[in-house]
Structure 1
């Protein structure tokens, strides 16, 4: 009698190694107890929001909210691919801004890819739009990206203060990638498609209830400083609804365990490196954000570090170098708009790649990285310059 073992992926092994190292830093006192306590107080609401918004997005997907929305957008396009393209771009932007970049990469991507395939349109530009905009549109609000949540308190503590600095660079982050994709795939995007029939959700009560929860949540995420509170309330409402009408959907895998473990371990390890003075050599990058040159330098450093090691540790490592709200926004430009080149630069990119390949859309890393480098360099540079103009 034999047994079948379950393979542990390389990503899981890396996360486990990082967790063990982080635990050793805390238990062994390498990270001083006061620093560990301060770190815990800082990241608890951030990670709490990540859990809540992930549950909201997953359950909304299971209630067919995104499927019905995408089908509605396809019918609104009336058979013109360029109109469908504009609708998908809008969906990706709204999803990223209010529900975070991972929601766009994991949930919106398969929806729009399957939609494009179902109406006979090349799905590649739509897939690329979701992954690029998942990153570059994630500068808008604190809730759009985990890095933003970390920086929000130092920038002003509320969405209004954050948006006062982020709105112009965010527009750049949307405009340049969309323009590049539109020009590159212009032959496919200026054609026609067959309009799909209306899609009806299997459970209309669940669909309308989940849609109402989302509609109520989105504006709250833009105006409530403690965003984990409305997100947790929305998650709780949806969990109760599904417990009544579709209990089998409720599962432990709704919680993004691996992402939480990875983020928590990186927080501890980078904080340990800061506490032990291992990153003092980065002091040369420190800037209060007054001049164009320092802002460009900080944004470029963030982009290079993100493509080298991943955008979350890149932000954590470089955060002390940004000594003003404007400088922090420049750093966010680098780590949010810049990770378009290497596959590991953003967790959203890795999650996106797994989704699109499983749907039969081939993605070659060579062209992906080449075009990503073109877009990243131009977008980061222009966004940093625009930040300097609007903050001066």
Structure 2
């Protein structure tokens, strides 16, 4: 009989609390309905993109991509490291952090395993950059989309975000490079290329991904193209490899945890329990206000997840610069707890399915080491670009 882990029991307890909040009316019906409309597309996208990633892996798409990267690395891990960083950044900026957590993670894990080096630095680089590079554009993170109109649209958004985003890339990568220097500066033998077992399945899945990627960058409702791609792959696998279609394709535990946190935080907000967080309003002119907002955003994101943290703290930001400071906190800060962002939960689901284990105590330690200087430096450069 399979033993149920502590994490599963925690998720079950949170789901029960969330259900009680809704059923007992502690969360008013109108608020519950509004919350459902807001998070349903997000969770729908997560389900669809995860199914896409799982089936693309089964079709050997990630194996072939990792083999190509290994050849480009020419036997030097440092060059591969640069390629992985670039891949994670580009994916996050244009396709969103959740897409990076789901799609890029298996590529870099398989890559590290194929050349015989530790996958841990590659895995951490992917999830750290999925969060910290997600400040760049409105499409990079749902929190950005929520703030973009108030900041003034894509142009005004990027004018404030580009410098903090560079900090969000440089600082975490520098820390990982220093800590894992023995791995990063090592050499490797290029693995022998292997052909996909089912070329029809491989090329069909590759074509679906190539069509999906630009649509994710160009479409506001990203759950729609992701759902179409997931359905296409399910039909394809039903014809070519039916045994690959299984319930475990869906990250049930991550979804349940995210949904429960949304409901619980919204309930606390509706009952006025979180008003103390938003009582002081930042004008954006004071350095103290900006640091306070960013710190509050980072702490709240690690406590209750970055999206509900943003929604709770948004009223405390009085102008575009203050909103960007808040985004720095909720985007660059959630590197510490596993539930700080949905991307981290999805990332962990991916690495476990690929046989990679990481101690949460170590994740929390190094996440803290990275998050604190990254958020502080990002606020400093925000003040510089804001004038």
Query: TM-score with structure 2 length normalisation?
Result: 0.85
Q: Distance in 2 between matches of 1:207 and 1:171?
A: 36
What is the Cα deviation at residue 28 of structure 1?
1.9
What is the Cα deviation at residue 114 of structure 1?
4.4
Q: Distance in 1 between matches of 2:246 and 2:325?
A: 39
Q: Which residue, 72, 75, 80 being the options, matches 1:76?
A: 72
> Counterpart of 1:275?
270
Q: Which residue, 168, 171, 180 being the options, matches 2:175?
A: 180
Q: Distance in 1 between matches of 2:149 and 2:240?
A: 39
What is the Cα deviation at residue 338 of structure 1?
1.4
The answer to whether the 8 Å contact 1:341/1:373 transfers is yes
Q: Distance in 1 between matches of 2:130 and 2:210?
A: 20
What is the Cα deviation at residue 313 of structure 1?
4.4
What is the Cα deviation at residue 41 of structure 1?
2.0
The answer to whether the 8 Å contact 1:306/1:339 transfers is yes
> Counterpart of 1:341?
336
Q: Distance in 1 between matches of 2:302 and 2:203?
A: 41
Q: Distance in 1 between matches of 2:260 and 2:352?
A: 28
CA RMSD of aligned residues (A): 3.1
> Counterpart of 1:380?
375
| 1:18-57 paired onto structure 2 within 5 Å | 18-57=14-53
Q: Distance in 2 between matches of 1:228 and 1:354?
A: 20
What is the Cα deviation at residue 68 of structure 1?
1.0
The answer to whether the 8 Å contact 2:138/2:145 transfers is yes
* 1:199 and 2:194 matched: yes
> Counterpart of 1:131?
127
* Worse-superposed segment, 240-249 or 179-188: 179-188
What stretches of structure 1 move > 6 A for 4+ residues in a row?
A: 158-161, 357-362
Q: Distance in 2 between matches of 1:214 and 1:299?
A: 36
SS of residue in 2 equivalent to 1:138: helix
The answer to whether the 8 Å contact 1:159/1:223 transfers is no
Unpaired segments ≥5 residues, structure 1: none
Aligned residues: 387
The answer to whether the 8 Å contact 1:291/1:388 transfers is no
What is the Cα deviation at residue 7 of structure 1?
2.9
The answer to whether the 8 Å contact 1:307/1:339 transfers is yes
Q: Distance in 1 between matches of 2:255 and 2:366?
A: 30
What is the Cα deviation at residue 175 of structure 1?
1.5
> Counterpart of 1:219?
214
Q: Distance in 2 between matches of 1:242 and 1:342?
A: 36
Q: Distance in 2 between matches of 1:31 and 1:40?
A: 12
Shift of the 239–389 alpha-carbon distance from structure 1 to 2, 3 Å rule, reads farther
Query: TM-score with structure 1 length normalisation?
Result: 0.84
